[in-house]
Structure 1
Amino acid sequence: MDGTNDGSPPSKLHTRLRLWEFPDCYIFEPIDGLADLLLSVSRSNGTMNLVEALPLRESSTPKVQIVYGVIGVLKLAVGSYFLVITDRDCVGSYLGHAIFKVTGLKVLPCNNALNTTSAEQKKMESEFSELLDAAERTIGLHFSYDINLTLSAQRLHELGDEYKSLPLWRQAEPRFLWNSYLLEPLIENKLNQYLLPVIQGFQNINAEVGSEKVNVTLIARRCTRRIGTRMWRRGADAEGYAANFVETEQIMQSKGFTASYVQVRGSMPFLWEQIVDLTYKPSFDIVRQEEAPRVLERHFHDLQKKYGAVLAVDLVNTGGGEGRLRERYAKSIEPILSEDVRYVHFDFHRVCGHIHFERLSQLYEQIKDYLKKHRYFLINDKGEKIEEQTGTVRTNCIDCLDRTNVTQSMIGRKILESQLQRIEVLGVNDTISNHPAFDTNYKVLWANHGDAISIQYSGTPALKGDFVRYGKRTTQGIVNDLRNALARYYLNNFVDGTKQGG
C-alpha cells in the first residue's frame, strides 16, 4: 500500500472512499489523493486484494456511496462482514487534530457462497440494521485520522518521532482500542491506510472565563478487558483486570497552554460477583477470598507501571453487603500500602445522601495533599513541558458509575481550577463556580461523560445519588462489544438476551 500522490507517508489514513457494490465484490476507491490502488473485497468469502482499476461490467449498474472509513471485519461461521462508516460528525479536536463521532454504520455481508435464502438473508440484514441503529445511538464511537486517541497527552508527549511515524493502529494502546479484534483481518493484509483505531467516549465544551477562551475535553478510554454489563461483570479476574475500568482524561486548552489530568475508575479489584436474581439489589459474594491480596497486588502493580503513584478512593457503604466488600478491599490492600499506594474510604451515601454533593469537600480535604504532590501535565505554546503528572486517583463504588462520576468530577474541577490559576485565567482564589455559564457547561460535560460510560455498562444513563440501577440487558451486547452481540445473534442468544431485558 505504498502508492501516494502527494508525498504523504504510506501510513496516512484514508479519509474518504467511494464504495462500489458490484455483484461479486465491493470496491473501495480512495478519493482523498492518498493512493492510486483500490481495495477489492470478495462478496463470496471476504478475501481482500489491491487492484489498479474498477472492474469492467457492462450489464449491471453498481450502487455507489461515499464512506469515511472501515471499522473492521467481523469473521463468523456464516461469513465475513465489513463494518464501514457512512456518516461522521466532527465533534471537536484533540491537540489540534479533528475528532469525529461515528453517526452512521453499514454492514457489508461477504457470504454469497453460502446460498442463504432471500428470506433468511432479509431477516439477518434486518437484525443487523436494528443492531447498528441502536449502536449509533448509544455506543459513542469516536476516531481521528491523524492522532492516537488511545494515549493521554502526557504519554503522547513522551513518545519519540520514530514511534509517531508508525501507523496509527501500531501506536494504539491495545487496552483502549475498541475495534482491535475487528481490525485483525486488515492487519493480516497489511492495509495500513484502512486501519482506523476507534475508542468509546469523547465530550468537549468551549467556554469563556472573563475575556479568555477555555476549551475543556473529556476522553473516556474504556478498557476492552473484562467487559460486560453490570451485575454480570463485577470485580477483577485472576489476571487483575477490573470490570468497568475506564481511564478518563480531562484536557484544558487556553492561552496557548495545554493541560491534562488522568484519573481512572474500576470495580473493586479482587474476585467477587453479584448473584443475579429478581431482587432489587442482588447480594454480593466474595469468591476465593484467599486470592484477594494476590489479585489486588497484580492490579495495583499494573496501575503503578502505567500511572505512577495510586490513590484508591473507595465510596461504598459501610454497612450491609457493600460493607463486607469494603472490609475485604481494605484488608487486601493493607500489605501494599506505601508512599505510592494509598487507600481512602469515604461513605458517599452516609455523608452526601441524595443531594448534598457539596459535602464531598470533606473527601477533598483528605486527598488534597496527594493531588498537589502529584500535579498534572502542562505544556506551553512551544510544546515545552512545565508540569508532569506523577500519580493518579482510582475511584470505585459498586458500579463505578454514579457516585464515582460525581467524585471524579469534583477532583477534575479542583485540578482544572489549579491549572487555570497557574496560567492566570483565574485569579489566585477564584473558582469555576464564580463563572456561572462556565460552571453550568462544566457540570453538563461531566454529566454527559457519566451517562456515556453508564449506558455502555448498564444500558441506562447515570443517575446521581444512591439509586442503583437494575441493569437492562436489552442493549448489553450493543453497548459493550458489537462483535459479541452479532455473534450472539447467530447463536440465537442475542434475541434471548433482549427478551430478558424487562
Structure 2
Amino acid sequence: MAVVLPFRDINVHASTSRYAFTSASAPSAPTLVVDRPTGDIRLNDGALLGAKRVSNKYIIVITKAQPMGRLKGHMVYKVIATELLPLRERPLHDPDEDNYLSLLKTMIKASPMYFSYSFDITSSFQRQGQSNVLLPLWKRADDRFFWNRFIQTDLIDFRTGGGSGGSHHRQQSTQQPGVDPYILPAMFGMMEIKNTAVKGTPLTFALITRRSRHRAGTRYFSRGIDEQGHVANFNETEQIVILNDTTSGLGGFAGGGGMQNGKVGGNGGLEMQVMSYVQTRGSVPVYWTEVNNLHYVPRLQIRGIDSAVTAAKKHFDEQIQLYGDNILVNLVNQKGREERVKAAYEQMVRMLSQSTEHRQSDEFSDEKLHSQESGQKQHKFDRLKYVYFDFHSETKGLRWHRAQILLDQLTDVLVKQGYFRGIAMPGDSRGRLEVRGEQASVVRTNCMDCLDRTNVVQSMLARWTLNRMLTDVGILLPGESASNDEIFENIFRNMWADNADVVSKSYAGTGAQKTDFTRTGQRTKAGMLQDASHAVTRYIYNNFSDGPRQDGFDLFLGTYLPSASNIGSTLLFVDRRPVLIQAVPYLLAASLFMISVATFTRRLPDAATLPLRIFVIFWFVVGIWCLQFIYSHGMLYVNWPKLNPLPWATEGYNEALTKVRKDKVIGKWVDRRHERGASSARLSYLEEGKKRIE
C-alpha cells in the first residue's frame, strides 16, 4: 500500500464561481473544487453543480515557504507568506469582517509556523515510531500540535464523509481519500536544524518546540487550566541528534531526489542513528489568573483548588498516557505574591495522589528544595513526582551556578528517564527506525509564565542529556562534555536562546529574559539591562496590544466563530466606553503638548511671565489629574480581548465603571446615557467570574 503524502505543488485556478486546486506532479489525481460563495467542497470527477449562497468564508493558502533543513532526509519548511482567497465578492463594506481579516493577517504574519510534505513534525521521534506510516500525514499528526486543524475542518469533514463545514446540508456520505494530499498539517513553534560536529564526528543537531493549539493565547489573557484539562502556554521541546545522516543538506524545493516519501541519498553503509530527548512546559494546572489593571504587578486571582481537580485529572491523565511518569519541576517563588500559586500547585498534587514530602533548606532559602512523591504505586496519579526549586532565591546575586543544585537533585531521575534512540532499518523504503531505547518519563517545568526561569532549567537538563547521548555512542569519553567543543558549544547555546526568544515572543510579546546566561553561560549587567527593557516592553504589550493578539488566536484556532447573522450589524470592535472616559488619554496628550509648547517656545523680552506660569501650572495640574485617573481606573484602559470576553475582566470593568460614576470631578457626566452601545447581553453567561476569590 502506497503512502499518501501532501502534494508539494498545488496550483490554484480561480473563477467567479469556484476555486479549483490541482497538482502538476499528480495529473491523474482528482481536482479539489471549492464552490463560491458557499464553501461546498467536492472532488471534480463529475459535472460542476450550482451552490447556495451563505456567509463569506476564506481559503488560506501558503504562497511562500523557506527551507529550514532536513531531518532524516525530509525537508522542513517555514511559512513565510500566505494569501486569503474569498469565496464571494464583497459588494458591501463590512467593518467587522475587515477587523476579522486584519486580526487573522496580523496573527499569521507574526506566527512561526512550519510544515513538511513527507515528515510528521508535529510528533516526536518516539511517537512517530508508534504511528502507522501507511496513514496519510494529517491522520498521523498529533492533534495538540496540528496548529491549522480548525482551518482545515471543512476539508477533513469532507474527507471523512461528514460533509463540508460551510454547507447547511450533508454533501457526502462516503469517505473521500482523494482529499488526503490536499491536507497539510502545520506546526506553530520553533525549529532549527544545524549540520555540525563534536570532536570531529559529523552530526545533525536540531531543536523543535511545538506549541499546543489548546488554550493558546497571550500572557495575561491565558493562564492556568481550562475545564477540558488544557493548560496555557503548553510547549513540547525535543532536542535531536542524528548521526550518519548524509541527506541533511538543504537541497531543492522538491526535497532533493523527488521521491514522494522525501528520502534521498544514502548513508555510505553506516547506520543512521536518531537520538531525541523531550521536555514539556505548561502553566500551573489550577484555575488562576492575573488581572490587568495598568499596575506593573497585576492582581492575582485563584479560585478554590477543589473546583479544578477534575480538570487537573484530565490534564495529567493525558500527560501520563503520552509521556509516562511526570516529574513536575516548579520554579515559582516561595515568598511574596507567587507563594499562593506555589501553594495551590502543591495542594493539587497532594489531592491527586497520596504523597510524602521531603524538604531541604540552607542559608539562602528556607525551602531550597521540596519534593513530593507517592510512597505507594496504587493508581496512575502516583506517577507524578513534584520537585520544588526556589530558583530566584538560590541564584540571586548572579549565583547562577547554584542552579546545579536542582540538576543534582534530578540526576537519578534523568538516569532512569533515558532518551529515545532509533537505528535506520536497512532497505526500509518508508524510513522506519528500529527502536533501541525509549524515554520513560518527562520533566514538566513551570514558573509563573513558563518562560524565563523555565528556559534556563530546560537548557540545563538538555545539556546533561546531550552529554549522556554522545557518551553512549562513543563520541565523548566518560566525564567529557560537548561544551569542550567551542564551535558546537556556541551552536548549542544560541539554539536554546533562540528557542527561549520564540516561545517568549509568542506568549509575552518580547524575547525571553536571562538569555545572556543561556548564550554565554554568565549573567551579565548588559543582560540585566536587556531584561529591564523587555520587562517594560512586556508591560506595554500586555496592557495595550495583547487583546487583539488574543482575538487573532481565537479566530484562527476556532475558539470564536463569527455568527453569520451578526456580521455587519453588531460593530463588535467599536469602543463602547463612555465618551468622557475615552477622552481622558487625549486630554493627557494635550496637556503634555501645551506644557512642551510653553516651555520650549521663545518669549519676547518684555512678555509677562505670570500668565505663562498660570498656563503651565493649569496644564500641569490637568496632566497629573489625567495620569492619576487613568492609573486609578486602569481596567477601563486595558485593551481587552473583544471576541471571547474574560469573566474577571468583565466583572472588573463594571466595578471600575461604577467607581468612576462616583468620581467627584466627572462622575455626574458619566452615566449610561453616555455609554455608547451599552449592552450586557453578550456577557450574561460570565457569572463564573463572581466565583473567583482574590
Q: Give the shorter-chain TM-score range.
A: 0.7 to 0.9
Counterpart residue identity of residue 429, structure 1: G
Q: Identify the range of structure 1 (385-394 vs 76-85) with the bigger mean alpha-carbon deviation.
A: 76-85
For residue 282 of structure 2, the aligned residue among 260, 266, 270 is 266
Alignment of 1:133-172 (within 5 A): 135-136=108-109, 138-159=110-131, 163-172=132-141
Q: Is the 8 A contact 2:207 2:238 kept in 1?
A: yes
Equivalence for 1:61: none
Counterpart residue identity of residue 239, structure 1: Q
For residue 178 of structure 1, the aligned residue among 137, 141, 147 is 147
Instruction: Report the secondary structure of 2:58's partner residue.
Output: strand
Instruction: Report the secondary structure of 1:384's partner residue.
Output: strand
Q: 1:414: Cα distance to partner?
A: 0.9
Write out per-residue CA displacement over residues 197-233 of structure 1, whole angstroms, 9 at most, x where no aligned residue: 1111222222221211222222222222222211111
Change (3 A) 1:109 1:242: same
Q: 1:143: Cα distance to partner?
A: 0.9
Q: Is the 8 A contact 1:100 1:143 kept in 2?
A: yes
Equivalence for 1:193: 181
Q: Identify the range of structure 1 (477-486 vs 327-336) with the bigger mean alpha-carbon deviation.
A: 477-486
Equivalence for 2:434: 384
Q: Is the 8 A contact 2:147 2:557 kept in 1?
A: no
Alignment of 1:102-121 (within 5 A): 102-112=79-89, 116-117=91-92
Equivalence for 2:307: 291
Q: In 2, distance between residues paired with 1:226 and 1:317?
A: 24
For residue 98 of structure 1, the aligned residue among 70, 75, 81 is 75
TM-score normalised to the size of structure 2? 0.62
Change (3 A) 1:480 1:317: farther
Q: In 1, distance between residues paired with 2:15 and 2:412?
A: 64
Q: 1:15: Cα distance to partner?
A: 0.8
Q: Is the 8 A contact 1:261 1:389 kept in 2?
A: yes
Instruction: Report the secondary structure of 1:41's partner residue.
Output: strand
Q: 1:77: Cα distance to partner?
A: 7.5
Q: In 2, distance between residues paired with 1:219 and 1:398?
A: 22
Q: In 1, distance between residues paired with 2:124 and 2:388?
A: 28
Q: Is the 8 A contact 1:40 1:51 kept in 2?
A: yes
Instruction: Report the secondary structure of 2:144's partner residue.
Output: helix
Write out per-residue CA displacement over residues 61-106 of structure 1, whole angstroms, 9 at most, x where no aligned residue: xxxxxxxxxxxxxxx9741110001011111223432111111100
Q: In 2, distance between residues paired with 1:307 and 1:130?
A: 35
Alignment of 1:34-113 (within 5 A): 35-51=28-44, 78-112=55-89
Q: Is the 8 A contact 1:395 1:408 kept in 2?
A: yes
Q: In 2, distance between residues paired with 1:241 and 1:134?
A: 21
**Counterpart check, 1:421 vs 2:471:** yes
Unmatched 5+ stretches in structure 1: 1-6, 56-75
Equivalence for 2:388: 345
**Counterpart check, 1:230 vs 2:219:** yes
Instruction: Report the secondary structure of 1:362's partner residue.
Output: helix
Instruction: Report the secondary structure of 1:331's partner residue.
Output: helix
Counterpart residue identity of residue 132, structure 1: K
Change (3 A) 1:211 1:493: farther
Instruction: Report the secondary structure of 1:182's partner residue.
Output: coil
**Counterpart check, 1:401 vs 2:451:** yes
Equivalence for 1:3: none
Q: Give the structure with higher Rg (CA).
A: 2
Q: In 2, distance between residues paired with 1:441 and 1:493?
A: 47
Counterpart residue identity of residue 240, structure 1: G
Tell me how many residue pairs correspond in the alignment.
Answer: 467
Q: In 1, distance between residues paired with 2:484 and 2:551?
A: 43
Equivalence for 2:556: 482
Q: Is the 8 A contact 1:27 1:54 kept in 2?
A: no
Taking only the aligned residue pairs, the percentage that are identical comes to 32
Counterpart residue identity of residue 30, structure 1: S
Instruction: Report the secondary structure of 1:174's partner residue.
Output: coil
Write out per-residue CA displacement over residues 157-212 of structure 1, whole angstroms, 9 at most, x where no aligned residue: 123xxx22111222222122111111111122222111111111222222221211
For residue 21 of structure 1, the aligned residue among 14, 21, 29 is 14
Change (3 A) 1:290 1:139: same
Q: In 1, distance between residues paired with 2:71 and 2:574?
A: 39
Q: Is the 8 A contact 1:25 1:41 kept in 2?
A: yes
Equivalence for 1:357: 400
Q: Identify the range of structure 1 (262-271 vs 445-454) with the bigger mean alpha-carbon deviation.
A: 445-454
Counterpart residue identity of residue 156, structure 1: Q
Unmatched 5+ stretches in structure 2: 160-178, 245-271, 354-372, 378-382, 426-432, 515-527, 577-636, 641-694
Q: Is the 8 A contact 2:150 2:556 kept in 1?
A: no
Q: Identify the range of structure 1 (140-149 vs 363-372) with the bigger mean alpha-carbon deviation.
A: 140-149
Q: In 2, distance between residues paired with 1:268 and 1:341?
A: 14
Q: 1:311: Cα distance to partner?
A: 0.6
Counterpart residue identity of residue 89, structure 1: Q
Change (3 A) 1:482 1:461: farther
Write out per-residue CA displacement over residues 307-346 of structure 1, whole angstroms, 9 at most, x where no aligned residue: 1111100011111110111122123212423273211111
Write out per-residue CA displacement over residues 429-477 of structure 1, whole angstroms, 9 at most, x where no aligned residue: 2212211221111111112212222222222222227866332415334
Q: 1:296: Cα distance to partner?
A: 3.3
Write out per-residue CA displacement over residues 396-455 of structure 1, whole angstroms, 9 at most, x where no aligned residue: 001101111111111111111110111122222221221122111111111221222222
Counterpart residue identity of residue 273, structure 1: T
Alignment of 1:292-331 (within 5 A): 292-331=308-347
Q: In 1, distance between residues paired with 2:120 and 2:347?
A: 39
Counterpart residue identity of residue 21, structure 1: A
TM-score normalised to the size of structure 1? 0.84
Q: Which has the higher strand share?
A: 1
Write out per-residue CA displacement over residues 140-169 of structure 1, whole angstroms, 9 at most, x where no aligned residue: 11111112222211111123xxx2211122
Change (3 A) 1:283 1:77: farther
Counterpart residue identity of residue 59, structure 2: F
Q: 1:134: Cα distance to partner?
A: 5.5
Equivalence for 1:212: 201
Equivalence for 1:132: 105
Q: In 2, distance between residues paired with 1:391 and 1:28?
A: 44
Change (3 A) 1:125 1:106: farther
